[in-house]
């Protein structure tokens, strides 16, 4: 990164061996040369300090591996670079060791790991954030991913039981080519580690973006440093705390322990916009359904794509589901029209974002996309906290932007969240009403999005569910799906 100079980075040609921790990705004939920076006294001193810390103990539950963004946890400079409080909150109680070193590329990290920084410890989890310095030095996305794979392979060799929590490269300012390369790296990592038993990939970059998708530079300290203008690269005190909070639920799950801060209090980051795979165990195989969707991408050219949770999942359509609550309404609305059902039971907005990033709409180019998501975000469990209505709207907006990226010509319909609970006094109703109000206001000026609220059609004059509309107070039956089908037909979906 800008504050440091890289010495002696080398890429050498050699047969690329597949890492035991991931599928082969490295470019043909390319591998990473582990490279030191011992000619820089501060770097050599830091490396020696890490080795001394390992000798002193205690054994860490977590090691954090990376560059200056990780290295920064050692700083206590008010107000913008005061990171020790976040370290004390999340990592010190786990006896964590900071293996971040400013300016390091994957080559330098690999050298450090091969020269003692993994010796004498048995961490449960390695938290890895690295790669931005590789792309800043014009290494390709594939070369950068190859370097990250080499690090994960080193971890697998030395500590085969250690789980790896791999973070995507954080968004930053800089040349358009680097920004594009960083995105390509993250896309490759997401695909490589989608179902790896040892490596969990997590992209928290969305927490640094404004609602319009642009970088919120106020969460980075670089632009406020004295001297010449610097690009936003390093999260400031607030940004780093937000990042740690975003990581914490996944880290705690890998450690098989409660989060250091209860989920309900982890409000620094909006969990609704952080892409995550399955959070809740349900009655079906979540990953198998995901694979079935990807297979349909190769054989189906859908005219309509339905995106959502179990309400969409249990309607009908492809891929096949063991449960179909509204096949008659589906047939009446769509007939033989090719329709792809991207509804997944128990999904929240963050799960939909993960699935879209994993290619569930890639190459489909449907005429219409219908989004019905958010009800599960308003319900907290031991796996995810309940989101506020405003956070849910941000999650839905992120999904709309993700759909536009892969299919810019599609017409998008955003459904209001359906009412839950039999009576108007059900505790689910108030947050749903407020969320729908905010959704309507958010998309009011967006002519590319149709907002459709049909909740009143499920209710009687007292606000109670009309008998037969829903099976269990949440999921429509055939009668309820007929209401939805009629509304979509009237809106011209599929025509």
Q: Number of helices (H) and strands (E) in the chain: give both, helices first.
A: 15, 14
CATH superfamily entry for domain 11-269: SGNH hydrolase (3.40.50.1110)
| Mean pLDDT value of segment 323-340 | 97
Residues 121, 139: Cα–Cα separation, whole Å:
32
List where CATH 3.40.50.1110 sits in the chain. 11-269, 286-490
Please, are residues 63 and 127 in contact by the beta-carbon 8 Å criterion?
yes
CB atoms within 10 A of CB 472: 9
Q: How much is the pLDDT for 31?
A: 64
Residues 282, 288: Cα–Cα separation, whole Å:
12
Condensed to tens digits (0 to 9), the pLDDT of residues 349-370 reads 999 999 999 999 999 999 999 9
* 22 has pLDDT over 50: no
Write down the mean pLDDT value for the chain: 93
14 or 473: which leads in pLDDT: 473
285 or 15: which leads in pLDDT: 285
Condensed to tens digits (0 to 9), the pLDDT of residues 422-478 reads 999 999 999 999 999 999 999 999 999 999 999 999 999 999 999 999 999 999 999
Complete DSSP assignment for 45-60: HHHHHHHHHHHH----
Residues 230, 226: Cα–Cα separation, whole Å:
9
* 5 has pLDDT over 70: no
Confidence of residue 26 (pLDDT cuts 50, 70, 90): low
**Three-class DSSP category at 372:** strand
Bridge partners of residue 415, in order along the sequence? 452
* Residue percentage of the chain with pLDDT more than 70: 94
* 263 has pLDDT over 90: yes
15 contacts: CB under 8 Å, gap ≥ 6: 29, 31
Condensed to tens digits (0 to 9), the pLDDT of residues 164-206 reads 999 999 999 999 999 999 999 999 999 999 999 999 999 999 9
Residues 27, 373: Cα–Cα separation, whole Å:
39
Please, are residues 321 and 476 in contact by the beta-carbon 8 Å criterion?
no
* Residue percentage of the chain with pLDDT more than 90: 92
Please, are residues 342 and 308 in contact by the beta-carbon 8 Å criterion?
yes
- The predicted model scores a pTM of 0.90
Domain 286-490, CATH class in plain words: alpha beta
Residues 192, 19: Cα–Cα separation, whole Å:
12
Please, are residues 395 and 384 in contact by the beta-carbon 8 Å criterion?
no
CB atoms within 10 A of CB 453: 16
């Amino acid at each position: 990164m800008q504050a440091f100079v890289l010495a002696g980075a080398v890429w050498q040609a050699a047969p690329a061996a597949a890492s035991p921790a991931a599928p082969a990705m490295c470019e043909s004939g390319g591998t990473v040369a582990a490279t030191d920076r011992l000619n820089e006294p501060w770097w050599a001193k830091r490396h020696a300090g890490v080795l001394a810390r390992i000798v002193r103990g205690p054994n860490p539950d977590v090691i954090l591996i990376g560059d200056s963004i990780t290295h920064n946890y050692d700083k206590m400079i008010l107000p913008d670079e005061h990171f020790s409080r976040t370290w004390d909150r999340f990592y010190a109680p786990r006896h964590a060791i900071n293996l971040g070193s400013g300016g390091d590329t994957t080559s330098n990290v690999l050298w450090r790991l091969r020269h003692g920084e993994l010796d004498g410890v048995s961490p449960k989890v390695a938290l890895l954030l690295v790669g931005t310095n590789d792309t800043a030095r014009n290494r390709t996305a594939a070369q950068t991913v190859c370097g990250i794979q080499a690090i994960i392979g080193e971890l697998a060799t030395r500590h085969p039981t250690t789980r790896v929590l791999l973070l995507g490269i954080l968004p930053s300012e800089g040349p358009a080519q680097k920004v594009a390369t960083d995105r390509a790296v993250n896309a490759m990592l997401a695909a490589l580690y989608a179902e790896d038993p040892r490596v969990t990939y997590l992209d928290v970059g969305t927490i640094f973006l404004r609602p319009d998708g642009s970088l919120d530079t106020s969460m980075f300290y670089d632009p406020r440093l004295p001297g010449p203008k610097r690009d936003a690269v390093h999260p400031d005190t607030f940004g780093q705390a937000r990042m740690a909070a975003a990581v914490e639920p996944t880290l705690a799950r890998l450690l098989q322990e409660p989060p250091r801060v209860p989920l309900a209090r982890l409000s620094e980051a909006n969990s609704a916009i952080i892409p995550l795979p399955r959070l809740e165990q349900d009655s079906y195989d979540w990953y198998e359904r995901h694979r079935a969707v990807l297979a349909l991408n190769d054989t189906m050219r859908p005219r309509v794509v339905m995106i959502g949770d179990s309400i969409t999942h249990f309607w009908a359509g492809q891929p096949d589901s063991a449960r179909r609550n509204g096949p008659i309404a589906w047939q009446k609305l769509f007939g033989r029209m090719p329709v792809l059902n991207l509804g997944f039971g128990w999904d929240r907005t963050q799960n939909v974002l993960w699935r879209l990033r994993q290619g569930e709409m890639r190459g489909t180019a449907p005429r219409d996309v219908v989004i019905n998501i958010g009800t599960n975000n308003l319900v907290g469990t031991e796996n995810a906290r309940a989101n506020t209505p405003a956070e849910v709207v941000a999650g839905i907006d992120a999904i709309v932007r993700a759909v536009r990226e892969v299919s810019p010509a599609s017409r998008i319909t955003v459904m209001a969240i359906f009412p839950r609970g039999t009576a108007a006094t059900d505790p689910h109703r108030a947050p749903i009403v407020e969320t729908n109000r905010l959704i309507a206001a958010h998309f009011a000026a967006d002519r590319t999005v149709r907002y459709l609220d049909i909740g009143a059609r499920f209710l009687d004059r007292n606000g109670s569910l009309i008998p037969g509309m829903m099976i269990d107070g949440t999921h429509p039956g055939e009668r309820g799906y007929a209401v939805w089908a009629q509304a979509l037909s009237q809106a011209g979906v599929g025509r």
